[in-house]
Amino acid sequence: MELITLYLAEIGQVVFAFLIGAIIGIEREFRSKPAGFRTMILICVGSCLFTILSKESDGGSADRIASNIVTGIGFIGAGVIFKEGISINGITTAALIWVTAALGMAIGFHNYPLTIVVAAIVVIVLFILEPVQRYFERFHKVKDYRIRSSNVSPAFRTELENFFEKNKFGFRCMKAFKDRNEAVYLYRVSASDRNYTLVDEYLINHHAISGFEV
């Protein structure tokens, strides 16, 4: 009877981990992120299961198994971080994978109050704080441009900076170098109204610019 009660308690832990992972995964799925609904469920349930097994293991240390969970989750998190242009995406998803694994471990250790509180914080961060983030992004008036040009003469850089000055863009050349037969410039550009369409159109239509990334 005692063994059946133990098994039922463990099944309850796994089901709870399933629900927590599902709640977090819904938001990632809604935003079409690399780690979505099923991934978050599996991470939370898997972490919970490993934690339960670590407590029942006679020959292993619960601390050592827990540390191995963190290490393994780190590899999964690194897999969803990718570079797009000169921007890095996926860091929030990677952090969420890490937190989801921690929630699964907390459930495995029967720490339900802490799990509920942290899960609530995660939901607040994902759903409620997004408008706040968008509000603060309105004050972020800087973009980094990586510009490649077939014109390697100093005249091109002068022409480009004259365009920025003429249209009242703040700018700073962060880096300039030559790659094969092209000149590459990394500019940090700021616009008071956050309207960078003019910059994009200029770079697209310029005959000497072979490509640019933002």
Complete domains list, the chain, with CATH? 2-135 (no CATH), 142-213 (3.30.70.260)
Question: How much is the pLDDT for 85?
Answer: 55
Residues lower than pLDDT 70 in the chain: 34, 58-63, 83-88, 137-141, 193-194
Q: Render pLDDT for 82-92 as a digit per residue (tens, 0 to 9).
A: 765 556 677 88
Question: How much is the pLDDT for 61?
Answer: 63
Task: Find, among 20, 79, 13, the residue nearest to 50 by Cα.
Answer: 13
Q: Render pLDDT for 156-187 as a digit per residue (tens, 0 to 9).
A: 999 999 999 998 888 999 999 988 889 999 99
User: Residue 157, SS3?
Assistant: helix
Question: How much is the pLDDT for 58?
Answer: 61
Task: State the Cα–Cα distance between residues 120 and 125, nearest whole angstrom.
Answer: 9
Question: How much is the pLDDT for 19?
Answer: 94
Token readout for 17 is 């981990």
Question: How much is the pLDDT for 62?
Answer: 63
Q: Which amino acid is at 183?
A: A
Give 93's contacts (C-beta < 8 A, 6+ positions apart): 28, 33, 34, 35, 77, 80, 81
Percent of the chain whose predicted confidence (pLDDT) is above 90: 35
Question: How much is the pLDDT for 92?
Answer: 83
Task: Find, among 18, 27, 188, the residue nearest to 92 by Cα.
Answer: 27
The three-point CA angle 90-92-96 to 5° equals 115
Length reported for the chain: 214
Give rounded-to-5 percent helix, strand, coil for the chain: 60, 20, 20
